[in-house]
Amino acid sequence: MGKSKQLKTTEPLAAGIILGAFLLCMALSAFGYGRAQAAAQRAARQAVGAAAQVADSSRLFAGYTQLEDPLLVLVNNWVPLPEGWEVTPRMVDDELVDLRMYEDYTAMCRAAAQEDVWFWVASGYRSVEEQRGVLGRAIGEGEQAGLTAEAARQEALRTIARPGYSEHHTGLAIDLNDVSSGFEDTPAYAWLQRRGADYGFIQRYQGDKSHITGIDNESWHYRYVGKKHAKEMRRLDMCLEEYVVYLQKQGVR
């Protein structure tokens, strides 16, 4: 009788010890993974070096040679659209995009819809002439608000690329939904932050990378780079400028 009573009192204690050990192992494992990921990000950023300094961006990308993978084409304030670049157009939500992103974009929309999250393309491919019009209208609005012509131009260039230097020329960039800062507070944005890379899409311009990209935070602007690259960029916490320089330093062409 005494032995039976002893077993009953020690069983919960043993179970508690086992559960505690299991939880401790899980916590240490998660901690170890987090440290490993942070270490990988630090090492990658160190490999990039000068790419992390926006003051050096114009020098870093002067005469830039594009990587061979067309999904990693770089178009920014310092690198124009490559000569001879071709877009194979496909219509999505009354906007044109390049065929290379079409399948993954539609798959992403289907997956999001299953969770009652919805996307639509507000702006896709733009010709150089169309970009000239977008920039001109923004400058005009700034002047109407009382800015000088130069001040209005500089203000517009914070979020609008010069003609010939816009990612929209590639057909691989899209502006989603209402194209406003309010998009950052929507379920659609939260979903993209979790799952966008699984379908090859990255938020191209993030606030904490504006000193590198030269563009303010744009929660609505997404770039297709393919699943492999998007996941790796997410893992390394890199924007496209950092990532292409990182790859080149690894010997990738």
Please check whether residue 97 is in contact with residue 121, taking contact to mean a CB–CB distance below 8 angstroms: yes
Nearest to 51 by CA among 219, 252, 218, 213: 213
Q: Provide the angle, in degrees to the nearest 10, between the axes of the packed helices 227-236 and 240-249.
A: 100
Distance CA 168, CA 75 (A): 9
- Write down the catalytic residue from 68, 143, 218, 241: 218
Could you tell me if 123 and 133 are in contact, meaning their C-beta atoms sit under 8 angstroms apart?
A: no
- Where does residue 144 rank: exposed (0-12), middle (13-18), buried (19+ CB within 10 A)? exposed
95 is catalytic: no
* Of 222, 197, 219, 200, the residue nearest 208 (C-alpha): 219
Beta bridge partners of 98: 89
Annotated catalytic residues are 218
